[in-house]
A and B are shown apart, each in its own frame.
Chain A
Amino acid sequence: MNTPLAPHYKKPLWETPFAERARALQQRDSYVPWAGYSTVDVFTTVEQEYFAIRNATTLFDLTPMVKYRIAGPDAERYVNRLVTRDIRKLKVGRVSYVVWCNDAGHLIDDGTVFRIAEHDFRICTAERQLDWFMDSAIGFKVEIEEVTSEIAALAVQGPTSCFVLKRLGLEGVEQLKPFEWRNLSAAGRPVMVSRTGFTGDLGYELWMRPEHALGLWDDLMDAGQSRGIRPIGSQALNMARIEAGFLMPNVDFISAEHTIRLNRDRSPLELGLEWLIDFDKPHFNGRRALLEENRVGPKRRLVGLDVAGNKPAHGALLYSDEAGLKEVGHVTSAMWSPTCKRNIALAMINTPHEGLGSTVWADVYLNRELMWERRMLRSQVVERPFFAPARRRATPPNDR
């Protein structure tokens, strides 16, 4: 029943089932490729879209998110050996944020695991992983299938999103706790709803069969009219995810399966994801290497930075001293946060310069009408996330 996609040599970028509506609403002709699909980067203006995330309801088409179905008698053992968290604890009806590593304990990618049934999981991830997943299946009774094009997906995020979904007719959606999913329906259309997202705000993700995509979009836009609903592109989403402190593959880390140069791989310990590692569960990929790294301590860590001034420290090198004599790291993501009113960044900093409260200096270059000015900006290591409103967790959410 899923629409067969044209081979890439005929059509380099596919369209998602929402493309027709997105095309009608976008005003910038600003598209970006994502995992083989064409997706909207900006619909109107980044600012408008960003503020909708924090103040209203937004729609983001995440169909290109790569989805795998993992099923079979060994599915639980398989996923448990694949990822660093203890998946035995994940109950049917729940979702878990996970990472998976190679033998050296270096991050290949992160993603979410849905436990669909006792022996049936879904893993959603930004990039294709079939090679690694298949090789990881040697010795396990599991079947692995990519189901990306069989499932259309829409993120509905923002403080009024619960209200909009209720209005849409998704009965009981307000009961969903963070990282729970349920099969609901709206106007006769089956929709799987999970309380997950990439914005750090109240929000949900809707998973449906492609043939229901356009109808659902239309109903959502109607239901959300009074709550300022609007579609958003990836740029606005990127702002929200930096505020939420989430990592972006190929920005904050590069998959260990893709790096070429030495020492470009990153471990979950370095990325500040130690809370995702369970050393007490049975063996998992990279466990022995991570134990050793944990023993000696990671060489560097990804931290949050509060940078002086209001100029984003994109890609800045970081020094331990204002004179810039000793380089200790670099910025991976940076922005002026409109909600926090702070100049924030994610940065990889060598130990021991990465401790909470430490000061480092960001070497920032500003282009002032074609003249470059260099600034050493005092930056302080601060807690992540930068923005974590209580509403993201409240159940039932305030539904005005």
Chain B
Amino acid sequence: MSSVRPDSADVIIIGGGHNGLVCAATLARAGQSVLVLEAAEHVGGMAITRRFAEGFKVSAAAHLFNQMPLSLVRDLNLKHHGLAFAATDLPTIGLSPDEAPLRMGDLDALNVRSEADARAYAPFDRRMNRFGKLIHAILASTPPRLGTTLWEDKWALAKMALKLRLLGRKEMRELLRIIGMNAYDLFEDEFQTPVLKGVLGFDAIVGSNFGPRAPGTVLTYLYRRAAEVSADSSTFVQPIGGLGTVTQALARAAEAAGARIRTQAPVARILVENDHASGVLLESGETIVANTVISNVDAKTTFLNLLGTEHLDTGFVRRIDHFRSAGMTAKLHLALAKRPNFTGVKPEWLGGRLVLSPSLNELERAFNPTKYQSVSATPALEITIPTIHDSSLAPTGQHVLSSVVQYVPYSIKGGWQTHRAALTTQLIDLLDQHAPGLRDSVVAAELLTPEDLEKEFRVTGGHWHHGDLAFDQFYMVRPVPGATQYQTPLPGLYLCGASSHPGGGVMGLAGRHAAHRVMSKSP
């Protein structure tokens, strides 16, 4: 019983990543008819839980939940829709071949290694918290426009200037001194203990394309702190059932508010009529009409493939084409027959966040080969063993190890076909050095290089943030001038994904800001 009338909605959202879902829920609650079109079999984008070996499940890209404001979780009633936490306040443990594991924030343990560090840590942490909160104000709002004449934009700029001023003269100067600096210099100035600096450095560069010595890495560090430390946010959390639970709850929240979600509905083109977005064409050939189209898909794909450059001006296309979006982060998934035993890691730490980044120099060294399209023998790792808190992910008594692998280039000399297996073995060997016996307990392994992430999640470059978070792709100019404030040069077309401010991470703010922007524009 096929109807002749094409499907339609007020708003189409292309992509059911967490940002698309937040956007859908927000708009649907405001009474708009919303249709989410997701290419994959399930919603969630880079925040899903899926099988990777017989009987084993894992959070396939994002594996820690630490960035979404609690207010958003509450507003959308996510707990009611199935979100529950297996563990919260996960500790971060620094691993090193040269030092015993260090729990971050453990001043007594630090004092043993360096009294100076133990003294310096708390004031440093407080200051970073303060700066983080200020940056949080940036995350929590739609960026103003440059060269603006609108009072709302001017007001936003003025508010930011005021917040900066309210830090006090000394602190303001300090922030302005460090904000353009590199993480390496800042942490070298502050501390002595290598593994402490290594872990701080890791937090400054994870998900990005930079070594700790690259300018702008203090900004990315503060950025991450901002999402974590703000009173509004939770710390590291592991949802029951993995990150997929978050996006499943978001989907239910959206549907409860009246949004419709269609999976396995890849969009081929954004349709344009009279220089206004008018709907989409699915790969299946089906046309769906709408007044507003919002893209959760990365900016490059949205403009260059889905919309098509013929609807855009050359200068804009040039900027989108230059939007740096090659990913540098891979994901390793191991199915383990037994619980791994990390040397020196206390049992109560094992369910935490284990960061293998022994020092800033090691980190920089891990970055170096990527410049020449190859990969270091000792990349930095962020390891979680979600089965410690959540037995639903593996057969009884067995475990899942999920690790972010930092500094794995998008393209490698010779192609990933020839390197993937070798790198997987190499990573297992590296882990085995810190958890003797792990190698022999590996039942199955999966390595997702940026190229694999690109394919599985349909994200250009497989980039964590859909595109580098760096000064020139940041805030008021993210993703590029002409596509800021979630709007695009084409009337009726908006962006709501990680390409837009404030970038990636399972935060939901791009989706929320975009929804508000759309509502403020529609009558």
Contact = CB atoms under 8 A, between A and B. Distances in A.
B321 A103 contact: no
Interface SS, B side:
helix
B310 A81 contact: yes
Nearest to B489: A288
B313 A285 contact: yes
A102 to B, nearest CB: 6
A140 B312 CA distance: 12
A102 B310 contact: no
B416 interface: no
A283 B304 contact: no
A285 B321 CA distance: 16
A283 B275 contact: yes
Nearest to B310: A81
A135 B318 contact: yes
A282 B309 CA distance: 12
B315 interface: yes
Interface in A137-165: 138-140
Contacts of A139: 304, 308-310, 317
Contacts of B316: 103
Contacts of A132: 314
Nearest to A284: B313
B105 interface: no
A41 B304 CA distance: 46
Nearest to B275: A283
A102 B489 contact: no
Chain B interface bracket (under 10, 10 to 19, 20 to 34, 35 or more): 10 to 19
Contacts of A283: 275, 310-312
Given A103-B316, A135-B318, A140 B275 contact: no
A102 B321 CA distance: 16
Contacts of B304: 138-139
A293 to B, nearest CB: 14
Nearest to B311: A283
Contacts of A77: 310
A140 B321 CA distance: 14
Interface in A69-119: 77, 81-82, 102-103
B482 interface: yes
A101 to B, nearest CB: 9
A286 B313 contact: yes
B314 to A, nearest CB: 4
A103 B309 contact: no
B275 A103 contact: no
A163 B489 CA distance: 53
Contacts, number: 47
Contacts of B312: 283
A77 B132 CA distance: 49
A285 B318 CA distance: 12
B310 A282 contact: yes
A135 B317 contact: yes
Interface string B295-319: 0000000001000111111111110
Nearest to A80: B310
Contacts of B310: 77, 81, 139-140, 282-283
Interface string A265-307: 0000000000000000011011110000000000000000000
Contacts of A288: 275, 313, 489
A26 to B, nearest CB: 41
Chain A interface bracket (under 10, 10 to 19, 20 to 34, 35 or more): 10 to 19
Nearest to B272: A283
A138 B307 CA distance: 13
A60 B304 CA distance: 44
Nearest to B318: A135
A140 B313 contact: no
A136 interface: yes
B313 to A, nearest CB: 4
B314 A136 contact: yes
A262 to B, nearest CB: 11
Interface in B88-132: none
A82 B304 CA distance: 17
Given A77-B310, A103-B313, A138 B318 contact: yes
A286 B318 CA distance: 14
A135 to B, nearest CB: 5
Interface string B316-327: 111001000000
A132 B315 CA distance: 9
Contacts of A82: 314
A140 B309 contact: yes
B173 to A, nearest CB: 32
B314 A103 contact: yes
Contacts of B309: 81, 138-140
A82 B313 CA distance: 9
A212 B323 CA distance: 48
Nearest to B308: A139
A250 to B, nearest CB: 21
A132 B318 CA distance: 9
Nearest to B315: A103
A348 to B, nearest CB: 24
Interface in A27-48: none
Nearest to B481: A103
A345 B275 CA distance: 39
B313 A102 contact: yes
A138 B275 CA distance: 20
A9 to B, nearest CB: 29
B251 to A, nearest CB: 33
B314 A285 contact: yes
Contacts of B318: 135, 138
Contact of B317 (A138, A282, A287): A138
Given A135-B318, A283-B275, A288-B489, A103 B311 contact: no
B484 to A, nearest CB: 14
A139 B317 CA distance: 9
A384 B321 CA distance: 42
Among B310, B313, B315, B316, max chain A CB count under 10 A is at B313
A77 B308 CA distance: 12
Contacts of A103: 313-316, 482, 489
Nearest to B322: A135
A287 B490 CA distance: 11
A336 to B, nearest CB: 41
Interface string A118-137: 00000000000000100110
A102 B315 CA distance: 7
Interface string B468-483: 0000000000000010
A285 B315 CA distance: 9
Interface string B278-289: 000000000000
Contacts of A138: 304, 309, 314, 317-318, 321
Contacts of A135: 314, 317-318, 321
A138 B310 CA distance: 9
A263 to B, nearest CB: 13
A146 to B, nearest CB: 18
A154 to B, nearest CB: 33
Interface of A: 77, 81-82, 102-103, 132, 135-136, 138-140, 282-283, 285-288
7 contacts: A135-B318, A135-B321, A138-B318, A139-B310, A283-B312, A286-B313, A287-B313
The 7 closest A-B pairs by CB, nearest first: A139-B309, A103-B313, A103-B315, A136-B314, A135-B318, A285-B313, A283-B311
Given A136-B314, A139-B309, A285-B315, 5 more contacts: A102-B314, A102-B315, A140-B310, A283-B275, A283-B310
Interface of B: 275, 304, 308-318, 321, 482, 489
